[in-house]
């Protein structure tokens, strides 16, 4: 009998599938570009005709499917003139749309453009939007709480009403929208997207990229905790630093990622502590995971953070918020779940894992076993299966009907 893991990567029989991926950002280092290329690299070769429409290909890591929509000289001129990416995307869409045919799957990554969505559908394509974060109303509520905890308002210009309305119109117009965690799914349903048009997806990890940190034996030592991500309020670094001050743990806190002034200035004394090591941007993140015993991520708002998959693959016990679990955490026995607004709760979790080495190792082992189902190869195969179902199921008309009902 086939195992559940084997069934998860079985591929439906289908003729060549044309996948037109659209990312109106220059390719290069960064989580979005990394996720896009990992997914495309792990689509079955010879069965999927892949094309990645972008503003400019990554010169350091070109791919055979890269399709820069703008001439290099035009792209450089637009960047020099500081033309917003959304405007550049509209110009690039004129060229990209010419190659879109009936039956294509157009896989849109942000920033989205309503006109591009409609034009692709007019040409008979099925449009799937990648939802890299939850919808704006949920994001606004979560981040308002995070800033309010410190007596601060949301920064000026965040979540304007016209942008919220535009985002909802874009998602309603798409035929399908992905959701990489449960809260993203909820935010889409709250916006009026029918459950039948939400594709439950995930992100993943590359075993080769993390090879030096996978399967290693961690020594007995004062525990090392690691935070990986931008040092901003949204990621909860302020809560973590306050909790660290409160605990008095005999251990070390590693912070991998650029720290914004909104954190650096008010928490300068904590960042200067000898048991807090600020690493800045780390190109080879496997080194950080290999040096750590526990991954800490008290984020307030995410779409399905890749770092939780990477930390799990490297056998780290995790302290995470509900938004930081992605699809890899099924229940609380696989990590310590915390309230990212509650410093005492975060401090208690840090203290518990600092004192309980057997629990750290047990959680790390469970995480590593669970991560085996989230390599990019398996994630890409599952997404391909979903695209095949869309292409085979004659869902274009039903999706249009559902969209009409939702906007009526």
Which domains occur in the chain, in start order?
16-204+376-407 (3.40.50.2000), 211-374 (3.40.50.2000)
Mean pLDDT of 294-321: 95
| Mean pLDDT over the full length of the chain | 89
Distance between the two ends of the chain, CA-based, in angstroms? 47
Tell me what pLDDT residue 199 has.
97
Q: Which residues fall within 8 angstroms of residue 6, CB to CB, at 6 or more apart?
A: none
Q: What is the pLDDT of residues 153-183, one digit of tens each?
A: 999 999 999 999 999 999 999 999 999 999 9
Q: How far apart are CA 328 and CA 309, in angstroms?
A: 7
Tell me what pLDDT residue 30 has.
64
More confident residue, 266 or 407: 266
pLDDT tier, 69 (very low <50, low <70, confident <90, very high otherwise): confident
Tell me what pLDDT residue 15 has.
54
Q: How far apart are CA 87 and CA 76, in angstroms?
A: 14
Q: What is the pLDDT of residues 32-61, one digit of tens each?
A: 888 999 999 999 888 899 999 888 777 767
Phi, psi of 67 (to 5 degrees): -135, 80
Quick check: 292 and 313 in contact, CB under 8 A?
no
Helix (H, G, I), strand (E, B) or coil at 339: coil
pLDDT tier, 11 (very low <50, low <70, confident <90, very high otherwise): very low
Q: What is the pLDDT of residues 360-378, one digit of tens each?
A: 999 999 999 999 999 999 9
Strand order in the sheet with 224-228: 276-280, 252-256, 224-228, 294-297, 317-320, 336-337
Share of the chain above pLDDT 70, in %: 90
Q: What is the pLDDT of residues 207-264, one digit of tens each?
A: 999 999 999 999 999 999 999 999 999 999 999 999 999 999 999 999 999 999 999 9
CA-angle at 377, arms to 376 and 378, nearest 5°: 90
Tell me what pLDDT residue 56 has.
78
More confident residue, 74 or 396: 74
Q: What is the pLDDT of residues 114-139, one digit of tens each?
A: 999 999 999 999 999 999 999 999 99
Torsion of the alpha carbons at 30, 36, 41 and 46, rounded to the nearest 10 = -160
pLDDT tier, 7 (very low <50, low <70, confident <90, very high otherwise): very low
Is the pLDDT confidence value at 398 over 50?
no
Tell me what pLDDT residue 177 has.
98
């Amino acid at each position: 009998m086939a195992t559940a893991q084997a069934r998860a990567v079985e591929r439906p029989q289908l003729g060549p599938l044309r996948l037109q991926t659209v990312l109106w950002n220059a390719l290069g280092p960064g989580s979005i570009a990394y996720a896009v290329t990992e997914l495309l690299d792990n689509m079955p070769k010879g069965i999927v005709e892949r094309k990645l429409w972008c503003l400019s290909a990554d010169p350091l890591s070109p791919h055979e499917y890269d399709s820069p929509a703008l001439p290099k000289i035009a792209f450089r001129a637009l960047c020099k003139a500081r033309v917003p990416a959304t405007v550049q995307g509209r110009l690039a869409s004129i060229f990209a749309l010419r190659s879109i045919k009936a039956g294509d799957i157009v896989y849109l990554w942000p920033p989205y453009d309503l006109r591009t969505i409609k034009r692709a559908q007019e040409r008979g394509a099925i449009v799937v939007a990648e939802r890299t974060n939850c919808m704006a109303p949920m994001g606004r509520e979560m981040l308002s709480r995070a800033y309010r905890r410190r007596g601060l308002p949301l920064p000026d210009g965040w979540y304007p009403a016209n942008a919220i309305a535009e985002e909802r119109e874009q998602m309603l117009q798409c035929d399908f929208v992905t959701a990489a965690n449960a809260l993203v799914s909820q935010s889409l349903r709250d916006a009026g997207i029918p459950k039948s048009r939400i594709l439950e997806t995930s992100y993943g990890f590359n075993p080769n990229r993390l090879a030096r940190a996978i399967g290693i034996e961690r020594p007995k030592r004062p525990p090392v905790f690691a935070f990986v991500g931008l040092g901003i309020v949204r990621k909860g670094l302020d809560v973590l630093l306050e909790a660290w001050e409160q605990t008095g743990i005999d251990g070390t806190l590693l912070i991998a990622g650029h720290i914004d002034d909104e954190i650096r200035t008010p928490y300068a004394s904590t960042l200067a502590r000898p048991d807090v090591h600020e690493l800045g941007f780390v190109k080879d993140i496997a080194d950080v995971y290999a040096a750590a015993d526990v991954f800490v991520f008290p984020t307030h708002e995410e779409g399905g953070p890749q770092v939780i998959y990477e930390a799990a693959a490297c056998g780290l016990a995790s302290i995470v918020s509900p938004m930081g679990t992605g699809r890899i955490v099924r229940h609380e026995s696989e990590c310590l779940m915390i309230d990212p607004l509650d410093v005492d709760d975060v401090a208690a979790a840090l203290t518990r894992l600092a004192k309980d080495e057997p629990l750290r190792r047990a959680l790390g082992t469970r995480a590593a076993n669970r991560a085996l189902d989230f390599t990019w190869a398996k994630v890409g195969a599952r997404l391909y299966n979903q695209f095949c179902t869309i292409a085979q199921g004659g869902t274009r008309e039903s999706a249009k009907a559902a969209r009409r009902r939702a906007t009526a």
